Amino acid sequence: MFDYTKVKLEKSLVERVRRFAEIAGYASPEEFITHALEKELAQLEEAGSEEEIKKRLQGLGYMS
């Protein structure tokens, strides 16, 4: 079976996720979040080097 964990998100973000998951036709907000994370991780994995990954994360505002 699958192994799950819980992640805390701001309520305003969860409401946005719910709204867009429904509009996009996802079965649940969790499915939408999983798809979005898998897509972003795939792009980072394509970057190759750790330095390129850091540059991309800085560009997204995740690192300073």
Q: How many helices (H) and strands (E) does the chain have?
A: 3, 0
Q: Domain extents for the chain? A: 11-59
Which pLDDT belongs to residue 57?
78
Which pLDDT belongs to residue 1?
65
* Each residue's pLDDT tens digit, 6-60: 999 999 999 999 999 999 999 999 999 999 999 988 887 887 777 877 887 788 7
* Rounded Cα–Cα distance for residues 14 and 5 (Å): 16
Which pLDDT belongs to residue 51?
80
* Rounded Cα–Cα distance for residues 53 and 64 (Å): 13
**Cβ contact 21:34 at 8 Å:** no
Tokens of 57: 């994360």
Per-residue pLDDT at 62 exceeds 80: no
Q: Is this prediction's pTM over 0.85?
A: no
